[in-house]
Structure 1
Amino acid sequence: MSLKIYHNPRCSKSRQTLNMIEEAGSPVEVRLYLDEPLSAAEIKELLEKLNLTDARALMRRTEAIYKELGLKSETDQAALIKAMAKHPKLIERPIVVKGNAAILGRPPENVQKFL
C-alpha cells in the first residue's frame, strides 16, 4: 500500500521523513500542503486517522499566526480546523498516511511502523 506525505520541503523533519520513505523503497505521494492547502474536511479526516480528538494537537502553537489569531484561548474545534485550513502553516508536519491510519513524523522515526 502506498503512502501519502503532507510535506513542507523547508522543514528538516519533513525532509528526513520523506527521505526515509524513499530509501525504504515505499511508493509515496507527496502533497505540498502549503502550496495546496487542505480543506476543513481533509483536516477532520486526518484528525480521525491520527486518532486525535483535539485539533490543537495537530497545530504548530509556536507559529506567530497562532498567537496573532488568539487561538490559545479558542475552544471550538471547528474554529481551530477552519484556522488550519485558512493558514496551513499552522499544521504540524510531516503527516504520513497509510490507508485509514496516519502518523506524525515527529520524530521521523515514528514513520518506521508504516515502512
Structure 2
Amino acid sequence: QKARRALNESESDYEFRDFFKDQLSDSEIRELSKLTSVDEMFAWRSPSSKAYRDLRGKASDDELIELMVKEPRLIRRPILTNGDEIVFGFKQGAYDDII
C-alpha cells in the first residue's frame, strides 16, 4: 500500500501487477534477475519460505527460479523497476531515485 501511494503521489506512470493473480513467468523472473541476484529476489524471511531456508547458499539460481514460478509468495515484494534498476520492498529514498 505504501508503495502504490508513493507512486500515485509522484504522479509517475506505472503498471501495477498482482503477481498472485497474474504470475511471473520463468522468463520474466530471469529478466528481472539481470538487474539483481536471484538470491536477493527470493523472500527468505517470508513465512512461506520457511521450508526452503536450508537451501540458502546451496540452491542454484535455476532451482530458486523454479520455486518462485511455482509459488509467487517466495518472491520479495513489492517490486519496482524502471528496466535499468530494481527495488524490492518499499524504501522511500530508493523509490525517489528510481522514479
What amino acid does structure 1 have at the position aligned with 2:27?
A: A
Q: TM-score, normalised by structure 2?
A: 0.83
Deviations 1:59-114 (Å, cap 9, x if unpaired)?
11123442324533642110100100110000001111213332224424311112
Q: TM-score, normalised by structure 1?
A: 0.73
Match of 2:62 in 1: 78
Match of 1:18 in 2: 4
Between 1:90-99 and 1:67-76, the stretch displaced more is 67-76
Could you tell me which runs of 5 or more consecutive residues in structure 1 were left unpaired when the two chains were aligned. Answer: 1-14
Write the mapping of 1:62-101 to structure 2, written as runs, cut at 5 A.
62-69=45-52, 71-72=55-56, 74-101=58-85
Separation in 2, partners of 1:73, 1:112: 32
Match of 1:60 in 2: 43
Q: Residue 103 of structure 1: SS of its match in structure 2?
A: strand
CA contact (8 A) 1:38 1:85 kept: yes
Larger strand proportion of the pair: 1
Separation in 1, partners of 2:92, 2:67: 26
Percent identical residues: 26
RMSD of aligned residue pairs (Cα, Å):
1.9
Could you tell me which runs of 5 or more consecutive residues in structure 2 were left unpaired when the two chains were aligned. Answer: none
Separation in 2, partners of 1:36, 1:28: 16
Separation in 1, partners of 2:64, 2:9: 35
CA contact (8 A) 1:105 1:111 kept: no
After superposition, the Cα gap between the structure-2 partners of 1:112 and 1:35, relative to the gap in structure 1 and judged at 3 Å, is same
